[in-house]
Amino acid sequence: MSKLDDEILALVKRVTEQAILPRFRNLAEGEVEDKGGDDPVTIADKESESLLREGLSRLDDAIGFVGEEAAHANPTVLERLDSACWIVDPIDGTRNFASGKPPFGIIIARAEGGLAQSGWIYDCLSGRFCVAHRGEGARVDSEQIVSHGSGRNPPVAAISLVFMEEARRQATRRHISPNYELVDIPYCAAEQYPRIALGENDVSIFERTLAWDHAAGALWLEEAGGKVARPDGTPYRVDEWNRKGLLGAATPALWDELAARYAEM
């Protein structure tokens, strides 16, 4: 791994040990809040983001910082996605973390020109570290990986219906679900993207496409040889924070098949 990868790994390990794991299954009353719409945040999310911001500023303080909790507190933070910035999800999978169960992780991306240029995904419990830099392929820890499908027929799909309007949920159930073997979503992009690339799942549909959830994972899956794009085939951009709908697949062929069915909705 590069020097930057080593520095990011050291940072996420330190933040995990200091801010996250001490509160796993150990949250006190009042340390979990609802941001609205069954979207929890914990004291560990806030402390993790503060430590990550501090650590990333030491690596490069010339670019902006877009953290999930900072953006929730002040939505104008999202305007920084138009320029060079760090993008951080301090605990991805907070719903799981707050319930005392896996998976959950830390996601960091470095973006410029509206596109993720680098991405890092750290599983706080297993220590799995996914790394990608644009044009350089994808790795898990120090091993280069190539995305591959599950080989199952029908293909395996994890479809997030959580943020869909009811009409779209029904259309998804009619036009897409019958063509796949459906599995539960992990409520954690830090887990879902590795599941696609490593052969556990074949495809996934995401309705909400916030940059801290998807910037690193979309880049990593694409660099592994999979495909992530909007349903119309346009690339995922971090600065399109209000746009809904994103399709991910282990291979371009699986993506094309899913997109054709999605277009029938």
From CA 205, how far away is CA 261, in angstroms rounded? 12
Q: Tell me, what's the pLDDT at 161?
A: 86
Q: Residues annotated as binding site for Mg(2+)?
A: 68, 89, 91-92, 213
Q: Tell me, what's the pLDDT at 214?
A: 98
Q: Is the per-residue pLDDT at 51 higher than 90?
A: yes
- Is residue 222 very low, low, confident or very high in pLDDT (cuts 50, 70, 90)? very high
**Ramachandran angles phi, psi of 65, nearest 5°:** -130, 125
Q: Is the per-residue pLDDT at 38 higher than 80?
A: no
User: Which residue matches tokens 């159930």?
Assistant: 173
Q: Residues annotated as binding site?
A: 68, 89, 91-92, 213
- Tell which wins on pLDDT, 6 or 38: 6
**Architecture label for domain 156-262:** 3-Layer(aba) Sandwich (3.40)
Segment 189-221, tens digit of pLDDT: 999 999 999 999 999 999 999 999 999 999 999
What are the domain boundaries of the chain? 3-143, 156-262
Segment 127-166, tens digit of pLDDT: 999 999 999 999 999 999 999 999 999 999 999 888 888 9
Q: For residue 42, what are its two tokens?
A: 């914990």
- Over range 36-56, report the average pLDDT: 93
- Helical (H) or strand (E) element with 86: strand 85-92
CATH topology of domain 3-143: Fructose-1,6-Bisphosphatase; Chain A, domain 1 (3.30.540)
Q: For residue 224, what are its two tokens?
A: 């592994």
From CA 132, how far away is CA 32, in angstroms rounded? 32
